[in-house]
Structure 1
Amino acid sequence: MFIRRFWLGFIFLLCLPLAGSAQRFHLPEGVKSQKINFQLINNLIVIPLEINDAKLNFILDSGVSKPLLFNLSDQDSIQLRNVSEITINGLGAGEPIKALNSRGNSFKLKKIRNFDQQIFVVLDKDINFSPSLGIPVHGIIGFDLFRDFIVEVNYGRKSIKFHNPEYYDETSSKNAQSIPLSIVDRKAYITGKVSFEDKDNVPVKLLIDTGSSDAVWLFQDLDKGINIPEKHYVDYLGKGLNGSIFGKRTKVRKVQLGDFVLKNAKAAFPDMFSFSSIKDHGDRNGTVGGEILRRFNIVFNYQNNVIHLKKNSYFNEPFRFNMSGLELQHNGLRYIAERITDSRGVVKNDERSFGDVQILMENRTRLSLVPEIIVSGIRAGSPADEAGLREGDVILAVNGKRVHKYKLQEIMNMINEKEGKKVRLLIERYDSDLLFSFTLKDVFNKKP
């Protein structure tokens, strides 16, 4: 699995008006649980969801209080009910944005139903995370599902079981460690410890956020001993509803949750200006996200204010950073031409096809419509930056492999495989093909 090595940085902490009373999610009478298979992309859980009979993809985000819908470009036929205009705030340095508040909608997740669900709709076309994920994603949903079910997430098998609390047997989690949760303002928090270069076991209270693909975000607090390590670099951390989020990326000696210790963990200190829409952080010290959560199989029990953690096969994997300095995303579609005959004119046996549209020309050449992959960002001073790559460059091949044959996350893995590896990128710039080479470097092996 390739996606686990990279982070795209989505986090949604919304200040939204909440409905007074609405029907809850439920299973049919006598049904004990519903299993859902999900896609794990950049540590984010993507589930299928039907809203008013429209089939959509949503991120399961424990950090969001109400469902949020965006990116409707390919779902123009969705019907929304009881709509009014509102203003919402989220993370980022921009201004609050206009949105729609819609009530009385029908939600369906296999057998799970809710016939009176509130949802907020963002109309800004720039709020679209599908290009960075490589698949269509239309929204996020969180607290309402965690509130109404015991949610069992198996990251290893990429499946979720939504258990009816009336039938759930707590003893099924006997092999896992139980850690108390606190539920405040429709969000769940866990306590843990972080060890820095000069200070061990600093107690921290962290928001549990399955909608953040990073490992841990920390808020600097010198009085508590939460300070930015000497070795760090400034980086783009992600995108919130109100704009881009920047901060300092680093690593800490360990993060401890219960008795579980994760060593040399990836960490980031976001610029606190991005959190200006959140008036009171209380005693919260940061966020724990998918890069750490995916290392466990987890049972979220909001009913009893507890979370059960059991480490899985990902637990001992090292935390990896973006060594190339490149960020990639989809940028629409392009045609590529491929010969389907060998030197003798014989059609090659090629059962694998690429793209949804294909045209055969004289039975020798195939034109396929495939996603275009571009450079969406470059970290200053990184190997890719020093080699001369630019934002907007179209990636054609990595180490001789044409990228249209691979998923976006597989391509990211190819350009960030291991320290010391030489990477060759064939790119298109202004209708010219150019070849660039660079060697992957661990930024923490360099002097700060």
Structure 2
Amino acid sequence: MKTFVLFMIMVSSFCNLGFSQDSFTIQNKHKSDKIKFQLVNNLIIIPVEINGVTLSFLLDTGVSKPIIFNFLNVSDTLKIKNTESFFLRGLGEGESIEALKSSNNLLKIGDAIKLNQELYAIYEANLNLAPKLGFPVHGIIGNDIFKDLVVEINYVKKYLKLTEPEAYRYKKCRTCEIFNLEFHSGKPYINADVTIKDKQVPVKLLIDSGGSDVLWLFENDSLGITSGTKFFNDFLGHGLSGSIYGKRSKIEALHLKSFVLKNANVAYPDSTSVLYAKMVKDRNGSLAGNVLKRFNWIFDYKNALVTLKKNTYFKEPFSYNKSGIELAHYGFRFVKEVDDRILKEKAGILKNDDAINSIRVVTDEHYKISLKPAYIIVELRKNSPAERAGLLIDDVIISINNKPSYQFSLQQITHEFYEEVGKRIRLKVDRDGKVLTFSFNLENPY
């Protein structure tokens, strides 16, 4: 998928909290287990069971401790207890936010179990990932899994393989590259190179599976890490402490030893948004989901190693949103649509027992009222084709290119904005109860 929904988290408060002595163990004779995941906007969503309740969590190598979005009213169901308040600070220009720390939680991922897990519950509504992904996400988990187990990520087949380190056996791989990892506050860093203006520059990058972008770089004139004059300003994503804005551009190449990704997208976040991230010595940026998905990975924290092997996503071209629109899921709205079941009844096709058991609201003999997903514009790039056409933030999308928006997922609609330059986009929107129609052509943003 090409949607760039970002959720970067750097929780500096975790640095001094320490880790529980308890560890994940695999409860089977093989000491290994596979877990299927959903790949949504380059992000890995896994099932996590907490105190007997199964939830959906983002797998984020850039977070130290599990976080639950507690405004989703899951705390009572999870029987969260033994809480105390903490204030957490992360990416974005906002203030620190309050979280409740909870201990003695039972956490299970497949056959991997941890008996005494710490959790952090956050009530900040802006951290709800579900509207931005169009997919339910209840929390984030990262270092607690990776530090205890060898974690294989197969982006193509969409599974994790978790293995206890003592049971893991490496296979020979001539097409793989192996990197040493550095760790800061439980987060993994990798050394790579970028080519900017014909100059190859060594960079130290956070491996951030919780971000769906491509590459973030912190501008540094002395190192030659600059956006130059060919860039555009854009919304980059939501961090723990607020929205993040910056510049988007291209670099000539990203080098991961023998693997070279040419003409890769890059974002240069505003320095005020990443002030805390830049406190890590010699850090130059982040490597995010749209790069990570192009490889299958083996994370071996115990030996401070990571192994990469390119996969079928490797040659997928890098693209930008050419409309300027960022969408989010906006709950549900009532729509009037043709009721095929009624038409079949009139034709004598529908079985009697099906007709008896069906419940619907009928407006006339051929139509019904149904609840369907709605999508709203939450960000609009300045001077973009969509803005110039007259679209506004908070416009609710009714149709795209004459097709009802509810027939699409959030990712499918956004995919339309990454199509070829010149493609005509026609949008019908609901603006404060008025239905308006707009059209524009997709353009290169710089």
TM class by shorter chain equals: over 0.9
Where structure 2 has 5 or more consecutive residues not aligned to the other structure, the ranges are 351-357
Contact between 2:20 and 2:116, CA under 8 Å: does it hold in 1?
no
Contact between 2:249 and 2:265, CA under 8 Å: does it hold in 1?
yes
Match of 1:143 in 2: 143
Q: Which residues of 2 match residues 10-25 of structure 1 at below 5 A? A: 10-17=7-14, 18-25=17-24
Q: 1:442 aligns with which of 438, 441, 444?
A: 444
Q: 1:80 aligned to 2:77?
A: no
Q: CA deviation at 1:347?
A: 6.3
Contact between 2:51 and 2:106, CA under 8 Å: does it hold in 1?
yes
Match of 1:207 in 2: 206
**SS at 1:161's partner residue?**
strand
- Distance, in Å, in 2 between the alignment partners of 1:160 and 1:348 is 49
Q: CA deviation at 1:346?
A: 4.5
Contact between 1:358 and 1:369, CA under 8 Å: does it hold in 2?
no
Q: 2:408 aligns with which of 406, 409, 418?
A: 406
Please give the per-residue CA displacement for 1:10-56, whole angstroms capped at 9, x wherever unaligned.
11111134245331111015233111111111111011111111221
The more displaced of 366-375 and 72-81 is 72-81
Identity %, equivalent residues = 40
Match of 1:388 in 2: 390
- Distance, in Å, in 2 between the alignment partners of 1:36 and 1:288 is 24
Please give the per-residue CA displacement for 1:93-143, whole angstroms capped at 9, x wherever unaligned.
111111101111110112111110011111222321110100111111001
**SS at 1:331's partner residue?**
strand
**SS at 2:84's partner residue?**
strand
Contact between 2:184 and 2:280, CA under 8 Å: does it hold in 1?
no
Where structure 1 has 5 or more consecutive residues not aligned to the other structure, the ranges are 351-356
Gap change, CA 1:20 and 1:295, over 3 Å in 2: closer
Match of 1:353 in 2: none
Q: Which residues of 2 match residues 86-101 of structure 1 at below 5 A? A: 86-101=86-101
Q: CA deviation at 1:71?
A: 4.5
Q: CA deviation at 1:280?
A: 2.1
Match of 2:111 in 1: 111
Q: CA deviation at 1:418?
A: 1.6
Match of 1:70 in 2: 69
**SS at 1:318's partner residue?**
coil
The more displaced of 359-368 and 223-232 is 359-368
Gap change, CA 1:201 and 1:333, over 3 Å in 2: same
- Distance, in Å, in 1 between the alignment partners of 2:433 and 2:283 is 50
Q: CA deviation at 1:173?
A: 4.6
- Distance, in Å, in 1 between the alignment partners of 2:202 and 2:246 is 22
Please give the per-residue CA displacement for 1:282-323, whole angstroms capped at 9, x wherever unaligned.
011110000111011111111211111111111111101010
**SS at 2:63's partner residue?**
coil
**SS at 1:171's partner residue?**
coil
Q: 1:421 aligned to 2:423?
A: yes
The more displaced of 367-376 and 246-255 is 367-376
- Distance, in Å, in 1 between the alignment partners of 2:378 and 2:359 is 27
Letter in 1 for 2:89: N
- Distance, in Å, in 2 between the alignment partners of 1:186 and 1:177 is 22
Q: CA deviation at 1:232?
A: 0.5
- Distance, in Å, in 2 between the alignment partners of 1:128 and 1:325 is 22
Q: Which residues of 2 match residues 28-427 of structure 1 at below 5 A? A: 28=27, 30-75=29-74, 76-171=76-171, 173=173, 175-197=175-197, 199-278=198-277, 280-341=279-340, 346=346, 359-361=360-362, 364-427=366-429
Contact between 1:196 and 1:229, CA under 8 Å: does it hold in 2?
no
Q: CA deviation at 1:343?
A: 8.8
Contact between 1:14 and 1:89, CA under 8 Å: does it hold in 2?
yes
- Distance, in Å, in 2 between the alignment partners of 1:23 and 1:138 is 23
How much is the aligned-residue C-alpha RMSD, in angstroms?
2.1
- Distance, in Å, in 2 between the alignment partners of 1:30 and 1:345 is 55
Q: CA deviation at 1:81?
A: 2.2
Contact between 1:71 and 1:128, CA under 8 Å: does it hold in 2?
no
Q: CA deviation at 1:345?
A: 8.6
Gap change, CA 1:359 and 1:185, over 3 Å in 2: same
**SS at 1:437's partner residue?**
strand
Q: CA deviation at 1:245?
A: 0.7
Q: 2:6 aligns with which of 6, 9, 21?
A: 9
**SS at 1:263's partner residue?**
strand
- Distance, in Å, in 1 between the alignment partners of 2:99 and 2:346 is 57
**SS at 1:273's partner residue?**
coil
**SS at 2:392's partner residue?**
coil
Gap change, CA 1:84 and 1:345, over 3 Å in 2: closer
Q: CA deviation at 1:386?
A: 0.7
Contact between 2:71 and 2:122, CA under 8 Å: does it hold in 1?
no
Letter in 1 for 2:391: L
Please give the per-residue CA displacement for 1:373-408, whole angstroms capped at 9, x wherever unaligned.
111111001110111111111111111111112211
Contact between 1:340 and 1:347, CA under 8 Å: does it hold in 2?
no
TM-score, structure 2 normalization:
0.93
TM-score, structure 1 normalization:
0.92
Match of 1:354 in 2: none
**SS at 1:144's partner residue?**
helix
- Distance, in Å, in 2 between the alignment partners of 1:403 and 1:364 is 21
